[in-house]
Amino acid sequence: MPSRTTSEQINWVAGMKGLHDSVIPGSDPKLTPDLRNVKVRYGRVFGRGGMKKYLAISAAAANPPIIDLLNYPRSGLATNELLRLTLTKLEKLNTGTLAWDDVTGAALSNLNTTRPQWTIIDDTLVFTNEGIDRPRKYTGSGNSAEIASGLAPYAKVIADAEGFLILGDISDDGTFTDITDGQRTLRYSDDWDTTWTACPGDARAVGDIILHLTPGAVTGALVLGRELIAYKEDGIERLVWTPGAVVWKQFLMPTPIGTGAPKTIKLVLEKFHMMLGTDGLIYRITQA
């Protein structure tokens, strides 16, 4: 039941006279040819005026389907960039022309069933197309390119934590049968665009983490607070960075449920994760 009801005169909506379809939200928050979605609550006006997310983006992909949309917040820019992945291309939305600019570089090798994963580290967008190609980076200009000049392993999982880029379910040659326990291994590097080769005594910079607490493959990973949550087919592990000889400590979460749907793993309100479990139920994952 409402606690109060007030009448408010809307002075800032300029009205419809002389407006036409060329007036688009975002060009002027006062101008709208349609009052649908405009609501007044407690004296405040809510609606679509000024919200550029309602711009019509109608340019069709030349090589459908679109298999992912990538939100790329750039340091120092007022607005985020929007990119999309298709079967062979990475394209960036040109907000001036509403066209999609090709920023692929060498063509990608996606399938209709590919489930891309991506993260942002050092103001750079890094993505993997489920291990079909090596991980790539996009810096906001030019074209995408393989990270570390093609020296990084193939990977199906990607994340970042504590300044490290982390790749999971890895393979050096793309077969995903060449590394023992590669399906449950995370490889990390703090100099991720230069080297992925571990050196003796340098485990704090580059190394492997075998998620040994369950036998299943890792399917996704995402930071929650100061922990990296590794999602597997048969469970969930927490990884905590330490300053000691053991760089990452592992803890098994008390659940036999894992996930085979990495695209469902989401951070909510910076407080918890949501994911679709292998039993078809949606779970909330919180810190210990």
Predicted confidence (pLDDT) per residue in 64-108, tens digit: 899 999 999 988 888 899 999 999 999 999 988 889 999 999 999
Per-domain residue ranges for the chain?
1-54, 57-258
Report the pLDDT averaged over residues 177-192.
96
- The residue ranking higher by pLDDT, 220 or 199, is 220
Whole-number percent of the chain with pLDDT over 90: 67
Complete DSSP assignment for the chain: --S--------S---STT--TT--TTT-TT--S--TT-EEETTEEESSTT-GGGS---PPPSSPPP-EEEEE--TT-SS-EEEEE-SS-EEEEETTTTEEEE--SSPP---TT---EEEEETTEEEEESTTSS--EEE-SSS--EEGGGGTSPEEEEEEEETTEEEEEEEESSSSS-SSTTGGGEEEEESSTTT-----TT-TTTEEEEE-TTSSSPEEEEEEETTEEEEEETTEEEEEEE-SSSSSEEEEE-S-S---S-GGG-EEETTTEEEEE-TTS-EEEE---
Report the pLDDT averaged over residues 119-133.
98
For 18-32, 134-148, 160-174, 262-276, which range has the lowest pLDDT when averaged over its residues? 18-32
Tens-digit pLDDT profile for residues 219-245: 999 999 999 999 999 999 999 999 888
pLDDT score at 250: 96
Class of domain 57-258 as given by CATH = mainly beta
